[in-house]
Amino acid sequence: MKSVVRTRSLPCLLGILFALVVADGYITQYLVMNNLGIEGNPFLAAWVSQDKFLYIKILGALLSVLIMWDIHRHWSKLAMSASTVFVVIYTGILYWNIGVFITQSA
């Protein structure tokens, strides 16, 4: 049973990571377009008010997931650890964005 859990853990983590990155893109775009926040990434700040921004976030998330999957083939523990760290970081970023939304819209 332990091997089944291990084999399904990484795909779940990568799916969560993908969803968090895309959700971050949607929330960030909403905040910036409604003058409630700013984009902290200087490389993406120019595109945040365009449709390209969400495509860039989706493609970046997909590329990250594919890279982590490739790393998993060679170093599974590293991929699990890194994916977990990235999920925790993006969860924090998402909570930060939600906090900005709540404080600025009230």
Which residues, at least 6 apart from 83, have a Cβ–Cβ distance to it below 8 Å? 10, 13, 14, 17, 68
Which pLDDT value is given to residue 49?
85
In a domain, 94, yes or no: yes
Give the number of other CB atoms < 10 A from CB of residue 78: 12
- Host domain of residue 69: 11-105
Residue 77 CA to residue 95 CA, distance in Å, equals 27
Reported as a single tens digit per residue, the pLDDT across 56-106 is 999 999 999 999 999 998 998 999 999 999 999 999 999 999 998 898 876
Number of structural domains (the chain) is: 1
